Amino acid sequence: LESRCSGRACNPRIGNLVHGRALRSQSVCGSNSSETYCAFKEVTSSRIRDSCSAVKCSKCSSAVPDQAHPPSAMSDSSFRYPDTWWQSAEGAKEETLQLDLETEFLLTHLILVFRSPRPAAMVLERSQDRGRTWKALRYFAGDCEGVFGLAEGSPVGESGATCTAKYSGASPCTRGEVIYRALSPWNSVDPYGPAAQDQLMVTNLRVRLLQRQQCPCQAKHPGGAVLPTDHYAIYDFIVKGSCLCNGHADHCVPAGGQQKANNMVHGKCVCRHNTAGEHCERCAPLYNDRPWQAANGIVGTPHECQRCKCNGHAKSCHFSRGSWLASGRRSGGVCDSCHHNTEGRHCENCERGFFRDPDRPKTAPDSCRACSCHPVGGVRSGGAPLCNPSSGECTCKPGVGGPRCESCMLGYWGLHEYGCRPCDCTADCDPYTGDCISDSDVEVFHAATGHMGHRSSNRETALFRLQELFSALHHSEKCECVEVPLGSPKLFCAAEYDYVLVVKVVTAHDKGSHAEVEVKVKKVFYQNPQMKIQRGNVTLYPESWTTNGCTCPILNPGSEYVVAGHEDRKTGQLMINAKSLIKSWKSTLGRKILHILRKDCG
């Protein structure tokens, strides 16, 4: 069957909160010994107007079941047991009746049916903090001004309680009612809104009976003044209400250790709309993509909690107000404790050391696989191997190659914790010993190690890679590069460099007539206003390649440098030569150069 909560606000049915719970009173008649009491009853008919019946006297004793009148008699069924009542001790001037609830409930109205004449003055009070503090809901008195110092109908203090004379008359002498409605029927108020909830929510309810009054019939009875009628007596104490569910549940189960009982209004909500909590006061663990809201009881909007987008890798999420505002109030959920080696606000990324398997759905538990990188040749970050999160391609140390960074690249040898060292040869070298290999031996070596494959095509590839890596590092016996020192700020500014960049060397190419070094620009510290260098790949042109037969200053593929040089005004090429400043990148060096550029070079 479809729930009454489907697509709309809902609330459990209203019932009598007293059923199944104990009412307390200060006194009970006949608790110490048998007491005699008397009562009058008015008779009204079309022929006899306001006549009084004869007085009726009986015994009250708590030890005799047929003569006992305990507080529980007020909470039994008024249909099955219409003639049971509670009665106070004879002579009691004031009396307090109290109902304690095990959790928060909503109060809609109260009905008291008296057996004795209604009190001349009484107060209805409620607590919202399990009896620690109390506030008046309504004052009842025939003379509001005289008893309470209040003008009838005028609200008092923070509680807004008013006084009424409507239910304080002495007639009828029995079956007189006192009624309190928590919400005025003519006011359109959202019952789940904060104002109504503050007015309706109760954990305890008490009625203080402050002033007795006699039945008018007693004054007409001979000897009536000495009859034992000085007591309070109530047939029914009815508290209508429901469990507090904020518009997100249509029925409730026992709360606070209560046992399930027929016709009892229980206090723990069976939450709908993806909400949770004893009163559906928060969103369920995986449904915090939007802030929790109570349902709207006027138009019926349910304000359901929305599921977080965790891609099946989290069991809970929390609401982030910052994310909510940043998204234009569309999504604020942040997944908690992502499983299956995932991370990110939506568990959408693989953790460091893992990559996304393209053959598995993003929601699959095994969609993130561990990076399979060589423990020595692969770069590690935070103790985990670093690989491309999309392809799994390992990030290798300088001079290291292979899909797993398991071997030295052509032109490098000696795999160790810092990578591979450049060969000190005109051609390639043994990747394990560094011994030089002649051009004719290169083919033999790579054929023996399984790198050649088809001889004719792979020889061209191998030679191309040798050209790619051709640099002064392979010709160190021919080149003696004089490193340009940073020197004083004055000398640095006097060089009038056209550009100052932080770059990572990608490759070097021998073009025959000139050389090209491809670098990736990571930071632009300075550039001539006419230049437009952006982050990304650019080409540097070493002048010394063709004039001296080597590239000075030395640029090592895979390493990062601070490069300061000049632009060729005719071609716009970024030149590097003996006047250029090239230093291995360090953050301290970067700060020093930035300081010089800003403070000294202006």
- Supply the pLDDT for residue 70: 96
Q: For residue 173, give the nearest of 240, 229, 122 by alpha carbon.
A: 229
- Over residues 311-323, the mean pLDDT reads 96
pTM of the model: 0.64
In a domain, 163, yes or no: yes
Average pLDDT over residues 240-260: 90
- Residue 20 lies inside a defined structural domain of this protein: yes
Domain end, chosen from 441, 469, 497, is at 469
Residue numbers of the domain that contains 450:
399-469
Q: Compare 545 and 336 and report the one with higher pLDDT.
A: 336
Mean pLDDT of 492-502: 91
Tell me which of 469, 497, 530 is where a domain ends.
Answer: 469
Q: List all residues 6 or more positions away from 565 whose beta carbon is below 8 Å from its beta carbon.
A: 497, 498, 499, 540, 574, 575, 576, 577, 579, 580, 581
Which ranges of 333-488 would DSSP assign to H, the alpha helix? 439-448, 455-468
* Residue 480 belongs to a domain: no
At 513 the pLDDT is: 66
Q: Do 173 and 91 fall into the same domain?
A: yes
Identify whether residues 220 and 80 lie together within a single domain: yes
Highest mean pLDDT among 31-45, 445-459, 515-529: 515-529
Q: Does the pLDDT at position 259 exceed 60?
A: yes
Integer Cα distance of 209 and 178 in angstroms? 12
**Same domain membership, residue 121 and residue 214:** yes
- Min mean pLDDT across 165-169, 304-308, 437-441, 482-486 is at 437-441
pLDDT tens-digit readout, 111-126 = 999 999 999 999 999 9
- Where is average pLDDT lowest: 178-187, 258-267, 375-384? 178-187
Kindly report which listed range (28-37, 87-96, 255-264) carries the lowest average pLDDT score: 255-264
Q: Can you give the pLDDT at residue 49?
A: 54
Both 438 and 330 in one domain: the answer is no
Q: Could you tell me if residue 54 is inside a domain?
A: yes
The DSSP call for residue 494 is H
Instruction: Read off the pLDDT of each residue in 358-363 and give the average, rounded to a whole number.
Output: 93
In terms of domains, do 421 and 336 share one? no
Q: How confident is the model at residue 211 (pLDDT cuts 50, 70, 90)?
A: very high
- Say yes or no: 423 and 535 in one domain: no
Classified as helix, coil or strand, 317 is: strand
With a pLDDT cut of 90, the percent of the chain lying above it is 57
Does residue 448 have a pLDDT over 70?
no
Residue 299 has pLDDT above 70, yes or no: yes
Q: How confident is the model at residue 567 (pLDDT cuts 50, 70, 90)?
A: very high
* pLDDT value, residue 90: 95
The answer to the question of residue 377 being in a domain is: no
**Amino acid in position 168:** S
Q: Does the pLDDT value for residue 460 go beyond 50?
A: no
Residues facing 419 on adjacent strands: 416
For residue 436, pLDDT beyond 80:
yes
Residue 520 is predicted with a pLDDT of 92
Residue 465, φ and ψ in degrees, nearest 5: -70, -35
- Tell whether 464 and 553 lie within a shared domain: no
Mean of all residue pLDDT scores within the chain: 86
Residues 499-507, mean pLDDT to the nearest whole number: 91
Do both 330 and 404 map to the same domain?
Answer: no
> Average pLDDT of 222-247?
93
Cβ-in-10-Å burial (0-12, 13-18, 19+) of 86 comes to buried
Last residue in a domain, options 350, 370, 390:
370
CATH of the domain at 363: 2.170.300.10
Query: Measured between alpha carbons, how far is 218 from 41 in angstroms, rounded to an integer?
Result: 10
The verdict on 460 and 517 lying in the same domain is no
**According to the model, what pLDDT value does residue 467 have?**
37
Report the pLDDT value the prediction gives residue 439, as an integer from 0 to 100: 52
143 and 233 inside one domain: yes
Confidence (pLDDT) at 303: 96
What CA–CA distance (Å, rounded) separates 432 from 412?
9
The reply to whether 106 falls in a domain is yes
Residue 287: which pLDDT band, with cuts at 50, 70 and 90? very high
Which residues are bridge partners to 121 per DSSP?
141, 211
Same domain for 504 and 449? no
Residue 301 lies in a domain: no
Residue 187 has pLDDT above 70, yes or no: no
88 and 193 inside one domain: yes
Query: Where residue 248 falls among pLDDT bands split at 50, 70, 90?
Result: very high
Q: How large is the angle between the packed helices 455-468 and 439-448, nearest 10 degrees? A: 120
Number of domains in the chain: 4
Residue 291: inside a domain, yes or no?
Answer: no
CATH code at position 110: 2.60.120.260
- The CATH number of whichever domain residue 509 belongs to comes to 2.40.50.120
